[in-house]
Amino acid sequence: MAQTIQAPEAATSGADVDIYGELGLTPVINGIGNQTVLGGALLSPHIQAAMDAANRYFVNMDDLLTQTGQMAAELLDCEAGYVTPGCAAALTLGTAACIAGDDGEKMERLPDTTGMKRDVVIQGKQRYKYDRAPTVCGAVLCQVGDANGTTAQQLATAIGPDTAAVLFPAHLDEQAGTVPLEEVIAIAHSQGVPVLLDAASQIYPVSRMRGWTKLGADLVAFGAKYFGAPHSSGLLCGRADLIASAAQQGFIGFERGTYRTFGRPFKLDRGEIVAVVLALREWVTMDHEARIARMQQRVNAALRRLERAPGISATNAPNASFGAPGLRVDVDAASGHTAAQLADALAQGTPSILCSHDATSLRFNLATIYEGDELVVADRLLTLLKG
């Protein structure tokens, strides 16, 4: 029943409206990827149309969050789900759930966690920028080990009566000198402590995306922009009791619930919520071999355009994004150009073209380049090389 949402046909595109020009801003062709600082996501016409359809009527937001959470849980084959305003918010709300559980008095006190189980354990080599998110609700990060590594014994000893959760960034699993996720889960669970997994972009293959909770992670946070939903959206999934607590501490829990919880700022539009579950359904049910093949066709078109370009060698760059190929341009040292100079010149144009680069090459992630603009990129490079 939860999967009966239908997305409408794509609405008329506003791509020809020069909205950034009106604001005095330079539009960007984003060859870097799903970067927050560049706007995050490239919505398909299908998802954009679904958001437009959601705008036609208002809805009971409590019911919408419940139904979409159910649908997300079914799609990911886990107990429960909850749509959040981004992955960082999912980490904050998930941590709040681990601290307060179903205790309304504790919920109302957050972020004042004095006297509560509030420690969030993280391995020293897994410290990263986004470990700030759990502290928003009053958690205290407790580093175990150091930059040289952490042992299983150190981790087990660090978990104590004040530990609310163990935070594990999925992209840093299997890093040398760290305790791997499966062992972390076993250690934490042996002491009755949940594991909160930051799997922001870890969505491919789909079996891996679905596999985190099967492995035993209690809560898993995703950035929904990575599977085609709006930039400002995310998803928290996992144990039903913890998801219920997170929802109660979210923005509608504040409005409609019994307790004055802290999560009122974590608000979402109804269109964003609908877009998350529709984009998730598309992602987990799509033919990914066909997706990768379509991306390869686009890469090949750019390669054909650049095959006789002076001073460079353009090649396929596999696994640039979620199993899909990308475009790599190696710059000949004798060409009179450097990779940095070309990247800067591409960025200075209108539209600005941004890419990743190192000392000798440029790399373009086509997952965030509007279809057809790969040829705009190729033509701009040709102009620069011949100029």
Residue 174: the pLDDT is 87
Residue 81: the pLDDT is 98
Mean pLDDT computed over 76-101: 98
pLDDT band at 11 (very low <50, low <70, confident <90, very high): very low
**Pick from 11-20, 240-249, 274-283, 315-324: least confident:** 11-20
pLDDT tens digits, residue range 31-47?
Answer: 999 999 999 999 999 99
pLDDT tens digits, residue range 119-149?
Answer: 999 999 999 999 999 999 999 999 999 999 9
Residue 16: the pLDDT is 59
Mean pLDDT computed over 80-95: 98
Nearest to 316 by CA among 366, 354, 385: 366
For residue 322, give Cα distances in angstroms to 39, 151, 156, 165, 367: 19, 31, 34, 29, 9
Residue 319: the pLDDT is 75
Residue 386: the pLDDT is 87
Strands 219-223 vs 234-238: parallel, antiparallel or unpaired: antiparallel
Residues in the chain: 387
Is residue 110's pLDDT more than 70? yes
Indicate yes or no: pTM above 0.85: yes
Residue 10: the pLDDT is 46
Residue 30: the pLDDT is 98
> Could you give the percent of the chain with pLDDT greater than 90?
91
> Could you give the percent of the chain with pLDDT greater than 70?
96
For residue 217 the two structure tokens come to 């992670």
Three-state secondary structure readout of 269-327 = CHHHHHHHHHHHHHHHHCCHHHHHHHHHHHHHHHHHHHCCCCCEEEEEEEEEECCEEEE
pLDDT band at 108 (very low <50, low <70, confident <90, very high): very high
Q: Domains along the chain? A: 45-285 (3.40.640.10), 287-386 (3.90.1150.180)
Mean pLDDT computed over 338-348: 97
pLDDT band at 8 (very low <50, low <70, confident <90, very high): low
pLDDT band at 13 (very low <50, low <70, confident <90, very high): very low
pLDDT tens digits, residue range 216-259?
Answer: 999 999 999 999 999 999 999 999 999 999 999 999 999 999 99
Residue 321: the pLDDT is 72
Question: What integer best gives the mean pLDDT of the chain?
Answer: 95
pLDDT band at 387 (very low <50, low <70, confident <90, very high): confident
